[in-house]
């Protein structure tokens, strides 16, 4: 049973000035139209923890169509979970109607997964169907109590869990994870991000139910992976995903290397640590970088196998291996093309960064993927995957003037003479996949990937 606690926002150290003016406008308008409305979820949790909320979500008694008719800057989205998005410039305020008990009207799968959740209810019912207690606080910025404006309502003992820094599923964790297995990833993400611990029952159920994540559509899993990458604590989150064996489902090709290959583990860990650092410095991060790092070892191994078994000509092996691992990974989580293309370019550039003669260094430096590929190269050197040296050369190249750049290129060891190639025999295997070879556009007539890196 739920116990209701109410206290002033001031008692929780939360004031109106911490709230987005747009969110306040939305609440005012909904309340004036007679609809009970609150700030809810992450923003209340973060304000209570003294953090700046990422966004401001609102829960209201108004139904989506009613919200839509009140605001002309409104758009209704979502099928599984219908929502209103109200736009103010670049800011979007997400407004959800209170959800009620699922009863017979919500759509669930055989395994108990909620396929659609559009049954509306009261604020108390809405609190019960949220995922974690810490995400179920309701803040009415206009309500008065003890002569003060702003009241927080707590139906789930959320305040105590925030104080004790506990992640706790609302209700029976087993049932709630089965309803929506993504909640397992959310529990881990918030534990990592807030440095909270997952309470025992909520934790134990993850080990038992991790497999249910396989039922989640690949596109939704990718969204969650992205959130994990950019939560600012990706390294911590990753260690926990590994402990809970959730990595096996998210990155089935990478997990064996991460667990058994020290060098690969160090490469991935350092990439995650750097991502967290970049975010804390306010720098840009892209999922394609971490995905390229995560899938590097399986791609390299596949490439080596192709070469060993002569399944593809050497110069095409990387391209084909890249295609293979990306396709396999997309069975677990989708990878939009806008990310898979840069990943392949980063991989391709790993070999090309060694080839700096003539105008090549300059052309590489201008390549849109140069920076990411250079960062990747440094990580590979740091982890001990390859000998250090080339990274330092490129570090210097970027710092010096044009004349010095040219002399650096001249000072490189003499380019090895190309061996004359005998004309290749036509392949008997007509089923060979002739994928466009745009990534190998470096007219590379040798299998350059395997050359020792200079200098
Ligand atoms: P942040 O935005 O800081 O990552 P958040 O808690 O606001 O954290 P959102 O993904 O924005 O997270 O979701 C808003 C709220 O919706 C959550 O706080 C939670 O109450 C509820 N919620 C989100 N996803 C689920 C889910 N899968 N099951 C139940 N409730 C959910
Ligand atoms: Mg949010």
Find the angle CA(80)-CA(62)-CA(124) to the nearest 5 degrees: 80
In ligand 1, the atom with minimum distance to the C-alpha of 41 is 18
In ligand 1, the atom with minimum distance to the C-alpha of 136 is 20
Summarised one tens digit per residue, pLDDT across range 371-421 is 999 999 999 999 999 999 999 999 999 999 999 999 999 999 765 555 655
Q: Whose CA is nearest to atom 16 of ligand 1?
A: 41
> Ligand 1 center to residue 228 CA distance, Å?
14
Domain closes at, from 164, 184, 199: 164
Residue 422's pLDDT band (cuts 50, 70, 90): low
Active site residues: 55, 57, 131
What sign does the dihedral 267-272-278-284 (CA atoms) show? Answer: positive
> Ligand 1 center to residue 304 CA distance, Å?
43
Residue 322 belongs to some domain of the structure: yes
Summarised one tens digit per residue, pLDDT across range 154-190 is 999 999 999 999 999 999 999 999 999 999 999 999 9
Domain coverage including residue 290: 223-410
Beta strands 197-198 and 166-167 are: parallel
HEC string for 6-44:
EEECHHHCCCHHHCCHHHHHHHHHHHHCCCCEEEECHHH
**Same structural domain for residues 114 and 235?**
no
- The tally of domains found in the chain comes to 3
Q: How many CB atoms lie within 10 A of CB 165?
A: 13
Summarised one tens digit per residue, pLDDT across range 124-150 is 999 999 999 999 999 999 999 999 999
- Pick the ligand that lies closest to the CA of residue 56: 2
Residue 49 belongs to some domain of the structure: yes
Domain closes at, from 181, 216, 251: 216
- Pick the ligand that lies closest to the CA of residue 40: 1
Residue 420 belongs to some domain of the structure: no
Summarised one tens digit per residue, pLDDT across range 307-340 is 998 888 877 999 999 999 999 999 999 999 999 9
In ligand 1, the atom with minimum distance to the C-alpha of 130 is 30
Predicted confidence at residue 171, as pLDDT, reads 97
Q: What's the CATH number where 340 sits?
A: 1.10.3090.10
Total-model pTM: 0.87
Please, what's the largest Cα pairwise distance for the chain? 90
- Pick the ligand that lies closest to the CA of residue 46: 1
Predicted confidence at residue 272, as pLDDT, reads 98
Pocket test residue of 131, 172, 178, 187 for ligand 1, highest count of atoms within 8 A of CB: 131
Q: DSSP string of 72-137?
A: TTEEEE-SSS-EEEEEETTEEEEEEEPB---TTTSEE-TTS-EEE---B--HHHHHHTSSBGGG-E
The answer to whether 347 and 299 have CB atoms below 8 angstroms apart is: yes
Pocket test residue of 42, 119, 136 for ligand 1, highest count of atoms within 8 A of CB: 42
Summarised one tens digit per residue, pLDDT across range 41-89 is 999 999 999 999 999 999 999 999 999 999 999 999 998 789 999 999 9
Q: With CA atoms as reference, report the closest residue to 361 among 391, 405, 401, 399.
A: 405
**Same structural domain for residues 95 and 110?**
yes
3-state secondary structure of 139: strand
Residues with CB under 6 A from ligand 1: 41-42, 54-55, 57, 130-131, 135-136, 180, 182-183
Q: How many Å is the Cα radius of gyration of the chain?
A: 27
**Same structural domain for residues 43 and 170?**
no
Q: How many CB atoms lie within 10 A of CB 178?
A: 20
Q: Whose CA is nearest to atom 1 of ligand 1?
A: 42
> Ligand 1 center to residue 218 CA distance, Å?
19
In ligand 1, the atom with minimum distance to the C-alpha of 96 is 16
Beta strands 37-40 and 137-145 are: antiparallel
3-state secondary structure of 158: helix
The answer to whether 196 and 166 have CB atoms below 8 angstroms apart is: yes
3-state secondary structure of 333: coil
Cβ burial of 359 (10 Å; 0-12, 13-18, 19+) is exposed
**Same structural domain for residues 247 and 260?**
yes
> Ligand 1 center to residue 131 CA distance, Å?
7
Residue 326 belongs to some domain of the structure: yes
Q: What's the CATH number where 134 sits?
A: 3.30.460.10
Q: How far is CA 375 from CA 159, 178, 293, in A?
A: 43, 40, 11
Residue 417 belongs to some domain of the structure: no
Query: Rounded to an integer, what is the distance from CA 323 to the centroid of its chain?
Result: 21
> Ligand 1 center to residue 186 CA distance, Å?
8
**Same structural domain for residues 206 and 88?**
no
Residue 443 belongs to some domain of the structure: no
Query: Rounded to an integer, what is the distance from CA 129 to the centroid of its chain?
Result: 24
Domain closes at, from 197, 216, 235: 216
Residue 156 belongs to some domain of the structure: yes
pLDDT greater than 70 at residue 449: no
């Amino acid at each position: 049973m739920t116990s209701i606690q109410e206290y002033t926002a001031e008692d929780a150290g939360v004031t109106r000035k911490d709230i987005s003016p747009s969110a306040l406008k939305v609440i005012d308008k909904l309340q004036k139209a007679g609809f009970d409305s609150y700030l809810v979820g992450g923003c209340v949790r973060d304000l209570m923890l003294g953090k700046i909320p990422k966004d401001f979500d609102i829960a209201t008694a108004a139904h989506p169509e009613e919200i839509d008719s009140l605001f002309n800057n409104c758009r209704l989205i979502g099928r599984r979970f219908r929502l209103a998005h109200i736009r103010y410039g670049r800011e979007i305020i997400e407004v959800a109607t209170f959800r009620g008990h699922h009863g017979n009207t919500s759509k669930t799968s055989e395994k108990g997964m909620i396929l659609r959740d559009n049954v509306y209810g009261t604020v108390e019912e809405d609190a019960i169907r949220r995922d974690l207690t810490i995400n179920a606080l309701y803040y009415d910025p206009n309500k008065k109590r003890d002569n003060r404006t702003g009241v927080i309502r707590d139906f789930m003992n959320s305040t105590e869990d925030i104080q004790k820094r506990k992640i706790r599923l609302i209700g029976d964790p087993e049932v709630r994870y089965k309803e929506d297995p993504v909640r397992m990833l959310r529990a881990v993400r918030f534990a990592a991000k807030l440095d909270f611990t997952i309470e025992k029952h909520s934790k134990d159920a993850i080990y038992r139910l991790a497999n249910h994540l396989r039922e989640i559509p690949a596109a939704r899993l990718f969204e969650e992976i992205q959130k994990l990458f950019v939560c600012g604590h990706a390294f911590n989150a990753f260690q926990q995903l590994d402990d809970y064996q959730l990595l096996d489902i998210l990155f089935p090709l990478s997990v064996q290397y991460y667990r058994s290959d020290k060098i690969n583990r160090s490469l991935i860990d350092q990439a995650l640590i750097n991502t967290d650092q970049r975010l804390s410095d306010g720098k840009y991060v892209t999922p394609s970088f971490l995905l390229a790092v995560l899938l590097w070892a399986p791609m390299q191994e596949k490439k080596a196998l192709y070469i060993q078994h002569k399944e593809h000509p050497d110069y095409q092996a990387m391209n084909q291996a890249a295609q293979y691992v990306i396709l396999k990974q997309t069975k677990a989580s989708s990878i939009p093309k806008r990310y898979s293309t840069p990943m392949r370019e980063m991989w391709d550039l790993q070999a090309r960064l060694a080839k700096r003669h003539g105008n090549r260094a300059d052309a590489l430096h201008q390549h849109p993927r140069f920076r990411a590929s250079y960062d990747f190269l440094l990580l590979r050197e740091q982890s001990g995957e390859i000998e250090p040296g080339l990274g330092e050369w490129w570090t210097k190249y970027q710092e010096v003037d044009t004349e010095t750049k040219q002399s650096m290129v001249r000072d490189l060891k003499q380019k090895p003479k190309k061996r004359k190639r005998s004309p290749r025999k036509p392949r008997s295997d007509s089923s060979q996949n002739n994928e466009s070879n745009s990534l190998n556009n470096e007219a590379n007539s040798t299998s350059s990937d395997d050359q020792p890196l200079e200098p």
